[in-house]
Amino acid sequence: MRTPGKRIEHQAKRNQEKPVGVGPKLRAHANDHASNRETLPGNLKNAESLLVFLSQRANEERERIQDPEFRTTSRFGAALLEVLTKLNCSQSRLAKLAQVNPSQLSFWLRPRESKATREVGPNEVCRIAWAVARLIDRGQYRGPGRGHLDVVLNSLLWLAGYSSAISHEDVIWRKKIVSADDPPKSLRVGWFEWTPFLGLGPTGFSKEVAEQVCSFFHRGPVQFVKVPMHLMSECLREREIDITAPVMMRFPRRLGWLRFSEPIPGIRVGFDAIFQTRRQREILATGAIEAIHSGETFQAKHLNLDCIEPIVATGESTEFVAKFAFDIEAKSIQPTGSTGHAHDLIEPEILARTAKEKGRILFTNEYTAEAARNQLPGELMKLSDLVGEGIRKQVRLPFAFGVNSEEPKLLNAVNKSIAVLQELRYFTNQIKKFGLPHGKANSSVSDQQSRRK
């Protein structure tokens, strides 16, 4: 018989040997971790080699995945089988960790050996990816598997035929890239005619840039939708288009309607004005040319406002520039033509004015003014022809894509594509190809405000 002292000593010894609070569930969890340690790669180097294998296999299949006749489940199954072999893990164990049906998992792993009832779905792929990452980690709290979950998940999604870069309303990772019954969704790019960036078709610099940028994150077709410039923001809000071509000038007023991508490197647009040649003596106030040549920047006081009326196209950035950069209170007129910008105002508001009517001067971007003057050299003049090229350099705004303000994922994808292409000097080469002037950023107030926004 044990004395009280012996009993206390014996109980204390048993308490030391027995884990405190270990019930059936915690014991099973401990066994699960022990099993993980037995089946997973032995070191970080093995884990990294497995991650490289997965990403390489997915990249090899990217082009073939877009073929409607391509059976994505078989590729997914073959890659996953290799992963299980490298992990020394059984199918039943993976099914248990991923919480998927073991029989269905067998169908997905070997679809050609059996009659699978359906292809693997995106939900199952996500659960399997998490289970694989867990296996790679060997029970580590901060292991390489879940630390690089994006590699595992995106690789398996691609191999299964799903995209991780779709619009929010389609629910991320839920839309098949290809299907015989459901072809990939077109990405709708809004555009308007604007020489020299976009010609009829469309053709030109901005069209090629849009196609190249979109190809980085969108695997379906790109559809160009012609939209008048003044309706571009409305079409984005109403989701009639998904993105605008890179012809939108970044300035603060537009930020309430849409979000701008990062600027297209090397492109800056200045401003000018256009008027009837026969009215050139009416345009400037007395002493204006001398004052500008002596160093003054162009302002409203240099215009002869008794004889000439400044106008701008509604919705153009020139509305902002005329008021805040040139201190000009210009009349805003809505364009009604096909382009939706200042080009549509030249005929009815400039050329159609009779000698008895007060003349008008149309403020617009330098390229629209240049194209109009070159088209009708005897009838139209540019303001810079009178006051010098300095006016075109006072304010220079960058180009960008326009994206719906409720589509941050799409905006992020566009920005990443622009960054990659900039590293490859793509934009510099395109600017040279189309013979465009290589613009440089200046320190204008409006440009700085736009970039801070």
Same domain? For 247 and 333 the reply is: no
Does residue 12 belong to any structural domain of this protein? no
Does residue 66 belong to any structural domain of this protein? yes
Q: Which residues pair with 332 in a beta bridge?
A: 312
* Distance from the first to the final alpha carbon of the chain: 85
Phi, psi of 29 (to 5 degrees): -65, -40
In sequence order, which residues have a C-beta less than 8 Å from that of residue 179 and are 6 or more positions away? 68
Does residue 6 belong to any structural domain of this protein? no
Same domain? For 322 and 372 the reply is: yes
Which of 135, 170, 205 lies at the terminal end of a domain, its last residue? 170
Same domain? For 38 and 136 the reply is: yes
Question: Per the structure block, which two tokens stand in for 172?
Answer: 């991320």
Same domain? For 81 and 197 the reply is: no
* pLDDT at residue 366 in the model: 93
CATH of the domain at 333: 3.40.190.10
Residue 367: CB atoms within 10 Å:
17
Of 258, 269, 256, 255, nearest to 206 by C-alpha is 269
- Long-range Cβ contacts of 298-302 (<8 Å, 24+ apart): 298/326, 298/383, 298/387, 298/390, 298/391, 298/394, 299/326, 299/327, 299/328, 300/326, 300/327, 300/328, 300/329, 301/327, 302/387
Same domain? For 157 and 196 the reply is: no
In sequence order, which residues have a C-beta less than 8 Å from that of residue 422 and are 6 or more positions away? 265
Same domain? For 150 and 198 the reply is: no
How do strand 271-276 and strand 359-365 relate by DSSP bridges?
antiparallel
Same domain? For 383 and 426 the reply is: no
Q: How many domains does the chain have?
A: 3
CA distance 303 to 308: 8
Which of 344, 360, 394 lies at the terminal end of a domain, its last residue? 394
In sequence order, which residues have a C-beta less than 8 Å from that of residue 351 and are 6 or more positions away? 276, 376, 379, 380
* pLDDT at residue 175 in the model: 40
Does residue 407 belong to any structural domain of this protein? yes
Same domain? For 256 and 275 the reply is: no
Burial of 231 from C-beta contacts in 10 A (0-12 / 13-18 / 19+): middle
Q: Are 369 and 382 in contact (CB under 8 A)?
A: yes
Does residue 231 belong to any structural domain of this protein? yes
* pLDDT at residue 49 in the model: 74
CA distance 443 to 203: 32
Residue located via tokens 């160009």: 224
Same domain? For 261 and 409 the reply is: yes
Same domain? For 448 and 373 the reply is: no
CA distance 70 to 210: 28
Decide: pTM greater than 0.85.
Answer: no
Going edge to edge, which strands form the sheet with 222-226?
222-226, 187-191, 243-244, 402-404, 258-260
Range of the domain at 233: 187-266+398-452
Of 326, 401, 396, nearest to 367 by C-alpha is 396
Predicted confidence (pLDDT) per residue in 86-119, tens digit? 888 888 899 888 888 888 888 888 765 444 446 7
CA distance 218 to 240: 18
Same domain? For 340 and 240 the reply is: no
Does residue 337 belong to any structural domain of this protein? yes
Does residue 23 belong to any structural domain of this protein? no
Mean pLDDT, 10 residues at a time, the chain of 453 residues: 53 47 44 43 60 70 48 75 87 89 83 57 85 83 76 81 49 39 76 91 94 88 91 85 90 69 92 94 93 92 94 86 89 87 92 89 94 93 93 89 88 92 91 80 39 38
* pLDDT at residue 257 in the model: 64
Looking at residue 360, its amino acid is R
CA distance 41 to 145: 11
Same domain? For 64 and 212 the reply is: no
Does residue 206 belong to any structural domain of this protein? yes
